[in-house]
Chains A and B, each alone.
Chain A
Amino acid sequence: MALSTARPRTAATGPPPTTRARGPRLALALIRTGPLLMLVAVVVTASALSPVFFTTRNLGNVLAQTAVIAILAMAQLLVIITRGIDLSVGSTVALAAVVGALTYEAVPSATLVVLAMLGTGLAVGTVNGVALVWGRLPHPFIVTLATLSVAHGLALWLAGGQPHRGMPDVVQLIGGTSIGWLPYSTLLVAALALLVLLLTTRLVWGRWIYAVGGNPDGARRAAIPVNGVLISVYVLSGLAAGIAAIITAGRLNAGSPTFGELAELDAIAAVVIGGASFLGGRGSVANALVGALMIGVIRNAMNLLNVDAFIQPIVIGVVILIAVELDVIRGALERRFQVMRAVAA
Chain B
Amino acid sequence: MTAGTAPPALRIAGATKRFGAVVALDAVDLEVAHGEVLALLGDNGAGKSTLIKCVSGVHQFDAGTVEIDGTAVSLGSPADARGAGIETVYQDLALFDNLDPAANFYAGREDAGPRWLPRGLRLLRRRAMSESTAEVLSRLQVGLPDQRAGVGLLSGGQRQAIAVARAAAFASSIVILDEPTAALGLRESRRVLDLILRLRGEGRAVIVVSHAMDHVMEIADRAVVMRRGRKVGEERPTPENQQKIVSLIVGGV
A residues within 8 Å of B by Cβ? 1-4, 7-8, 17, 202-208, 210-211, 213-215, 217-219, 221-225, 228-229, 232, 280-282, 334-335, 338, 341-342, 345
Contact = CB atoms under 8 A, between A and B. Distances in A.
B182 to A, nearest CB: 18
Contacts of A202: 123-124, 126
Contacts of B99: 207, 210-211, 214, 281
B112 interface: yes
A204 B98 contact: no
B94 A3 contact: no
Nearest to B149: A338
Contact of B110 (A4, A207, A219): A207
Contacts of A206: 124
Interface of B: 58, 78-79, 82, 90, 92, 94-99, 103, 106-110, 112, 119-124, 126, 141, 143, 145-146, 149, 153-155, 190-191, 194, 197-198
B153 A219 contact: no
Most A CB within 10 A of own CB, among B92, B99, B146, B198: B99
Contacts of A214: 96-99
B108 A223 contact: yes
Contacts of A341: 145-146
B103 A207 contact: yes
Contact of B145 (A208, A210, A280, A345): A345
Given A1-B194, A3-B191, A218 B141 contact: no
A224 B106 CA distance: 11
Given A207-B110, A219-B108, A338 B145 contact: yes
7 contacts: A211-B96, A213-B98, A222-B107, A223-B79, A281-B98, A282-B98, A341-B146
A218 B96 contact: yes
Nearest to A282: B98
Contact of A17 (B94, B97, B145, B155): B145
Contacts of B106: 207
Given A2-B194, A211-B96, A203 B122 contact: yes
Contact of A221 (B94, B112, B143): B94
A2 B107 CA distance: 32
Given A214-B98, A223-B82, A281-B97, A203 B121 contact: yes
A341 B124 CA distance: 30
Contacts of B78: 221, 223
Given A205-B121, A221-B78, A7 B98 contact: no
B188 to A, nearest CB: 11
Given A3-B194, A338-B145, A204 B96 contact: no
B94 A204 contact: no
A208 B97 CA distance: 14
B141 A338 contact: no
- Ranked nearest first, the 9 interchain pairs of A and B with the lowest CB-CB distance are A222-B108, A281-B98, A205-B120, A218-B94, A214-B98, A214-B96, A338-B153, A223-B108, A3-B194
A315 B110 CA distance: 44
Contacts of B103: 207, 210-211
Contacts of B97: 214-215, 281
Nearest to A277: B98
The residue in B94, B96, B106 that gathers the most chain A C-beta atoms within 10 A of its C-beta is: B96
